[in-house]
Structure 1
Amino acid sequence: MKPTVHDIAAAAGVSLATVDRVLNRRSGVREVTRERVESVIRDLGYVRDVAAANLAKRRVYPLVFIIPDSASSFMRRINREVREAASRAAIERTDISWIEVPAFEVAPLVRTLQRLAEERPAGVALVAVDAPEVRDAVDKLVARGIPVVTLVSDLPGSKRNHYAGIDNLAAGRTAAHLLGRFLQPRTLEEGQSIAVLAGSMLVRDHRERLEGFRSLLASDFPSLEVLPVLEGRDDPAQVHQILLELFQRRADIAGLYSVGAGNRGLIRALKEQRGAALRAVIAHELTEHTRDALLDGTIDVILNQDAGHEVRSAIRVLKARADELAVIDAQERIRLDIFIKENLP
């Protein structure tokens, strides 16, 4: 049988109240008594069930999500998943709030993180912008004992506790492999170009997807020229405009990879373009708009990440960190789904 607090109290010759003070690192216990109780805890191999203790105390976890204020369908879905998680607060013992900040902007995100460092919630999840100022603000939160999870886009080099998102290098390499296979053998002659559309190179997920994409194309399909990346800030109107301008300038575009969002603008531009020789289009995130585009052949492949899984993972990890419990890595691994019109769920 597992040792209990009653066993500790009996072996140490102290009251249950004293054992509780030692376990919770509270004052009011003489140093010699504290050392005796801690020695008994080690000898008995007692492991405290923090989660059960918090459940008994009805502890509530105030968690804060920082989400870009974006017009993209995917970020709206992240927002919706956070709101749904907040609606389950009574069951999951969470008090979830969310703050929207301008997409791809460093200063508003840093100010929000600095304010939260003073408010001291039980944990913070954010869609990160990869900038030194953001990294410093995250490190200060962690230094104050506030767990931090990056969501969708990571912040390597920071002291964040966990990343809830897909392997974006692998996603980019997957897109390159599929695009190269789709285009050969008819279009792999000289002079064929690949367009790449991103939201912003300030976010790590877009940069990593592009890095993986370029790397595999260079090694496996060197005859394909990757054009300079276009940045549409995940805004459908801006994406529509810059793609139409590209199609008017270039008639040799054989394929297109959209690493970010703004897919409504992408789809609209693809339907309106007349000059480009597009034969394959790969984009990210399954939404009602990209689903329709898969079905009608406007888009060939969608690479998808489960927004609900990412939000739930962030909550589980933040609660585990607050309780100083281990995280089950396999449970928190976010997979990359590949959808074509024939396997749509």
Structure 2
Amino acid sequence: MRPTVHDIAAEAGVSLATVDRVLNNRPGVRSVTRDKVERAIAALGYVRDVAAANLAKGRTYPLIFILPAGENSFMRGLEAEVRAAMARSAAERTDITILSVPAFDAPALAAALLDAREQRPAGVAVVAVEAPEVAEAVKRLREDGIAVVTLVSDLPGSERDHFAGVDNIAAGRTAGSLMGRFLGGREGPVAVLAGSMLVRDHCERLEGFRAVMSEDFPGRRILPVVEGQDNPALVETLVDTLLDKHRDLAGIYSLGAGNRGLVSALEKAGRAKAICAIAHELTPHSRAALVTGTIDALLNQNAGHEVRSAIRVLKAKADGLSVIAAQERIRIDIFLKDNLPVEQA
């Protein structure tokens, strides 16, 4: 049987109240008595069930999610998952707040992180923009003992605790393999659409995509990246220009959002079937385009899993517990029109 607080009290020759004070690091215990209790804990191999203790005390975890504003369908889906978690707050003992910032705006994101710091939450989850001021803001949160999880887009080199997202280099490599195989012997260059090269997930997807195209399909020309800021109207304009300038365009890899603009431009030009289009994230719009064949394949990350993972990690970090890496690994889904999941009513 696992040792209990009663066993500790008996081993150390002290009261249960004294054991409770030591376990919770409260004052009122002489150093010699504290040493006796700690020796008893070590001798018995006692491991405290922090989750049970917090449940007994009715502890609530205040958490802040910082998300980009705008029309990005995936981000709005991510926000919906956070709001679903808010609806479960009573059962999960969380108190979740959402802060919105303009997409790809590093100064605004850094300011939001510092605002979050002033609220003294147990943890912060943030869709990161890679910039020095953002990394510095994360550092200041961590200095105050506030856990930080980057969500969807990472901030490597910072002092964040955990990244809840897919391996984006692997995602880009997967897109490259699909593009090269789908095109086969069809001639012509491939265009790349990004949201912004200020975010790590887009940079890593591009890195993986270019690596595979160079290694496995070296004869294929990759055009310079164009950035659509995840804005459907801007993406449509950029794709219109690409189609006019490169009449022999064979493929388009959309590694960001704004895919409504991509679909509109391809269909308007009558080239939806002639150009291989590979994109990210399963949304109502991208699903419809996959069904019609305008998009050939979608790489997807499960927003609900990412939000639930972020909450689990932030709570564990607040309690000083370790994270189960396998449980928090976010997989990359590959969807064709033939294996789409059934839409939920």
- TM-score, normalised to structure 2, is 0.96
Aligned amino acid, residue 337 of structure 1: D
SS in 1 for 2:326: helix
Partners of 1:157 and 1:91 in 2: how far apart?
35
Q: Is contact 2:113-2:138 (8 Å) kept?
A: yes
Partner of 1:245: 241
Partner of 1:61: 61
Say yes or no: does 1:298 pair with 2:294: yes
Partners of 1:75 and 1:47 in 2: how far apart?
40
SS in 2 for 1:205: helix
Partner of 1:321: 317
Partner of 1:47: 47
Partners of 1:316 and 1:277 in 2: how far apart?
43
Q: Which of 193, 206, 216 is the aligned partner of 2:202? A: 206
Task: List gaps (5 residues or longer) in structure 1.
Answer: none
Alpha-carbon displacement from aligned partner over 1:252-305 (angstroms, at most 9, x marks no partner): 210000000011111111111257994311000011111111111101000011
SS in 2 for 1:225: coil
Q: Is contact 1:149-1:163 (8 Å) kept?
A: yes
Matches within 5 A, 1:258-269: 258-269=254-265
SS in 1 for 2:327: helix
Partner of 1:162: 162
SS in 1 for 2:166: coil
Q: Is contact 1:72-1:263 (8 Å) kept?
A: no
Q: Is contact 2:67-2:79 (8 Å) kept?
A: yes
Q: Which of 251, 260, 266 is the aligned partner of 1:255? A: 251
Q: Shift of residue 133 of structure 1?
A: 1.1
Aligned amino acid, residue 220 of structure 1: D
Partners of 1:117 and 1:339 in 2: how far apart?
39
Partner of 2:338: 342
Q: Shift of residue 324 of structure 1?
A: 1.4
Alpha-carbon displacement from aligned partner over 1:41-88 (angstroms, at most 9, x marks no partner): 111111111100000111111111000002111000001000010011
Say yes or no: does 1:176 pair with 2:176: yes
SS in 2 for 1:330: coil
Q: Cα–Cα, structure 1 residues 152 and 219, in superposed 2: closer, same or farther, change >3 Å?
A: same
RMSD: 1.3
Say yes or no: does 1:120 pair with 2:125: no
Partners of 2:115 and 2:52 in 1: how far apart?
31
| Between 111-120 and 315-324, the greater mean CA deviation after superposition | 111-120
Aligned amino acid, residue 4 of structure 1: T
Partners of 1:74 and 1:93 in 2: how far apart?
27
SS in 1 for 2:338: helix
SS in 1 for 2:81: helix
| Between 60-69 and 14-23, the greater mean CA deviation after superposition | 14-23
Partners of 2:97 and 2:326 in 1: how far apart?
27
Q: Shift of residue 309 of structure 1?
A: 0.5
SS in 2 for 1:197: strand
Say yes or no: does 1:135 pair with 2:127: no
Q: Is contact 1:254-1:277 (8 Å) kept?
A: no
Q: Shift of residue 118 of structure 1?
A: 2.4
Q: Which of 213, 220, 223 is the aligned partner of 1:224? A: 220
Partner of 1:97: 97
Partners of 2:252 and 2:61 in 1: how far apart?
44
Say yes or no: does 1:311 pair with 2:322: no
Determine what percentage of the aligned residue pairs are the same residue. 64
Partners of 2:72 and 2:268 in 1: how far apart?
20
Aligned amino acid, residue 97 of structure 2: S
Task: List gaps (5 residues or longer) in structure 2.
Answer: none
Q: Is contact 2:272-2:293 (8 Å) kept?
A: no
Q: Is contact 2:6-2:16 (8 Å) kept?
A: yes
Q: Is contact 2:272-2:294 (8 Å) kept?
A: no
Aligned amino acid, residue 198 of structure 2: L
SS in 1 for 2:100: strand
Partners of 1:282 and 1:165 in 2: how far apart?
20
Q: Is contact 2:273-2:294 (8 Å) kept?
A: no
Partners of 2:273 and 2:99 in 1: how far apart?
43
- TM-score, normalised to structure 1, is 0.96
Say yes or no: does 1:233 pair with 2:229: yes
Q: Is contact 2:124-2:146 (8 Å) kept?
A: yes
Aligned amino acid, residue 238 of structure 2: I
SS in 2 for 1:148: strand
Partner of 2:17: 17
Partners of 2:182 and 2:70 in 1: how far apart?
32
Q: Is contact 1:152-1:164 (8 Å) kept?
A: yes
